[in-house]
Structure 1
């Protein structure tokens, strides 16, 4: 996949720079707030190679990419750096405003919650899993809470939850475009040790005679979100009042002096009442309709994900954790995730389409570890019946998990790795429910998923259309043939896994090899067309005449040189022959800038090949045989 080209196409088809208010990404999707979604050419975007589907929900225009979303987003930011700031193209006053409706208000709320939690969801999920593992270690008597190792790891696991208002202040303030550092200062005041101690001791204080109700703010969500909302209206008033020469100092001063006491006196008690009410309602529903709750959440959670409204449940789960010390919602969601993985496995076992088999096999694994969007949009929802099978399996598994009464002691990405966070009474019945959802999703899809029905229908139609043809020419594929890629550099071969850039070493961009060059010249590794040339000259993309997509990235972080030491000899769309000189670069210039000169040669469309074999080692010369693609 050529990320630069895909990003360029997406930027154009969503209506261009002028139509984008803000953009960010989650684990699998590019998320846009567009000024006018009607300007986006959805059909053309969905047809792009590398795009799974488009979802318009929660006030967001969501382009589902899959595991490569970060690379596509980075390419998008390279073309429009403003997007990396997650800011509006124009001020909000210039953005079009429509009549406020319940739908628009709800969409805005979902967008706000999504944008606030997405940036640190990975860190929170990792910390939650660590917290669960510590509970598991204690339960198995491998550790005790008094050991130094436990206490250090627990600090690593619990820190993000304890100081959640601080990190949430930063991301929420960014969403509402207020001074992030002022909001963080307010959040720090809420969890300041002296104030926490007063709450712990239930000590009453007052602010100029106004009583302050002791309230706990550590690990909370709702108070700081309300604070940001109030700051949104308070901060502009002071910005207008103070002259620009003193505004940067006096506006934060006034906001802190007013909003911190206001939070302790008014916002805190209000948010506490809201939190208590939400927690009470949820627990009442859970206690009185537990099985039904599990059935609904297990069956329809992925539907909520499709429409983007699942973010509304995140504050609820966090609130449960803050109020009760545990959450009963998260365990109900794992059957929904695992049922999709099971349905993907069912497709893998049943399909006769080799391409679909490969896609379903890989997505079974990613779904088990909590990334379900590629599975849903690329497989189950696309084929319809497997999605329904997964819903049925998830509902049954969710009902079993609900019956177990298990709860979570941390909140994060729901996956099989979440199970240690569910350690409590009923854990074994809960695991049985999870297994049932996975196995049942597989079985239902194998027997009733209609996996090959579309393909068989297509074959029958094709047979009917060609029934009058006396002879049909067929092309025999030689699976023993291989595409040869020569070395574009002279130097020492370095295994891809050993280079320092994780994007390349992890294989996220594709398989290949790296070379530590001794000569500052890059030549064409095969007859090819130049697909992409960076203006800085540090990277070049080629498509060989055999269809292999090759990225040659000279050095690590060499984009920082802004073209210094690089000379590009070809341009986009040029056709080059094997051995033709493409780029000259000065090795010493790169080294003097304290940058790595190690150069990855990546096959970016690796998924089109069964194997990418490195056939050279040690020192190689330009034009020596380097890779074989089979």
Structure 2
């Protein structure tokens, strides 16, 4: 229903003020990606290329947004004090430049609300430039620096405008994020215990262990988002692996972010491409900033519905700011929520 509404709204804007479409798409793409609604624009873009040989619905605006994500991640890499945090942000920036924004969105900018705001505002302004200059895309490809040739056509100025769009998006976002999106320390869980040098994380769900490199998603399998493990779930309840604070929830309910007392940032992501389910089959049971204890329910899922709609239900448990050599994955075939899943052998607060 929401996708149909977006389709109708963009169609209306495109018919009356077409220059405004890249502005709207440039600003809202991060939110659309989070809820899987960006795919609703694909039929319009396909129809436009089929009929006119070019399109302005997706390409120009998403180019602005993707490059803006890269700019924000690069700025955070410069501001980040922890070596692992810098590495993650820099890697996310590079992948965003190539048109893959999930590592930047989920691993970097969503952690800092002001950074996400900078991405949306700068993406919208770069999209406005693209719209006012009539930037069009002649064929498909994930918008990024490596697919810039899709903007080459009969009008020589079109490619030049694409380059200006990239420069505006990256430059504005980098500067605004560097100046205003200060890297903040996460609020730790209240505790009187001494500093922990070894942290045990229990399994978030009962199921079969899968090496992260074998997950059917290149972003997760590459480790660019973070290191950890995957589980083929056999239960409908996702629970907290450790005492922590809920730092991120998602409108679609398919993922959740936690931060422990020692500063470990954990992302629990349920399923591959399940964001496209738009929240069906997912119910978040906690709120942002809520303190949770190990074993406390976080997300209720409908495993049967996920499988019926042909989505992979694999659950990924990622440590976003912990090097792989500090993570010991338990060597088991199957686990329950009572079993230890990961052991972090050293505090992650070191620079």
Q: Specify the alignment match of 1:621 in structure 2.
A: 336
Q: Specify the alignment match of 2:290 in structure 1.
A: 574
Q: Specify the alignment match of 1:291 in structure 2.
A: none
Partner SS for 1:606: coil
C-alpha spacing 1:482/1:45, structure 2 compared with 1 (3 Å)? closer
C-alpha spacing 1:72/1:85, structure 2 compared with 1 (3 Å)? farther
Verify: 1:171 aligned to 2:211, yes or no: no
Flag the structure with larger Rg. 1
C-alpha spacing 1:618/1:518, structure 2 compared with 1 (3 Å)? same
C-alpha spacing 1:84/1:605, structure 2 compared with 1 (3 Å)? farther
Q: Specify the alignment match of 1:596 in structure 2.
A: 312
Partner SS for 1:67: helix
Partner SS for 1:552: strand
Q: Specify the alignment match of 2:21 in structure 1.
A: none
The within-5 A match list for 1:48-447 is: 65-69=89-93, 70=96, 71=102, 73-75=104-106, 80=120, 83=123, 87-88=127-128, 92=132, 122=146, 168=149, 170-171=150-151, 183=153, 186=154, 225=156
Contact 1:23–1:30 (Cα < 8 Å) also in 2: no
Q: TM-score, normalised by structure 1?
A: 0.32
Contact 1:24–1:31 (Cα < 8 Å) also in 2: no
C-alpha spacing 1:551/1:87, structure 2 compared with 1 (3 Å)? same
Stretches of structure 1 that go unaligned for 5 or more consecutive residues are: 1-6, 9-20, 33-41, 53-63, 94-117, 124-166, 173-182, 187-223, 233-307, 309-475
Distance 2:121 2:303 in 1: 28
Q: Please, what is the CA RMSD of the aligned residues?
A: 4.4
Task: Number of aligned residue pairs: give it.
Answer: 229
Contact 1:488–1:623 (Cα < 8 Å) also in 2: no
Q: Specify the alignment match of 1:484 in structure 2.
A: 200
Distance 2:296 2:264 in 1: 17
* Greater share of strand: 2
C-alpha spacing 1:22/1:545, structure 2 compared with 1 (3 Å)? same
C-alpha spacing 1:622/1:30, structure 2 compared with 1 (3 Å)? same
Contact 1:23–1:31 (Cα < 8 Å) also in 2: no
Q: Specify the alignment match of 2:222 in structure 1.
A: 506
Deviation at 1:226, TM superposition (A): 5.1
C-alpha spacing 1:509/1:569, structure 2 compared with 1 (3 Å)? same
Distance 1:29 1:90 in 2: 18
Distance 1:227 1:47 in 2: 35
Partner SS for 2:304: helix
Deviation at 1:567, TM superposition (A): 1.1
Partner SS for 1:555: strand
Q: Specify the alignment match of 1:361 in structure 2.
A: none
Q: Specify the alignment match of 1:493 in structure 2.
A: 209
Deviation at 1:88, TM superposition (A): 1.7
The within-5 A match list for 1:548-587 is: 548-587=264-303
Q: TM-score, normalised by structure 2?
A: 0.54
Stretches of structure 2 that go unaligned for 5 or more consecutive residues are: 1-29, 32-62, 97-101, 111-115, 134-141, 168-193, 346-351
Partner SS for 1:500: coil
Distance 1:525 1:65 in 2: 25
* Greater share of helix: 1
Deviation at 1:511, TM superposition (A): 1.0
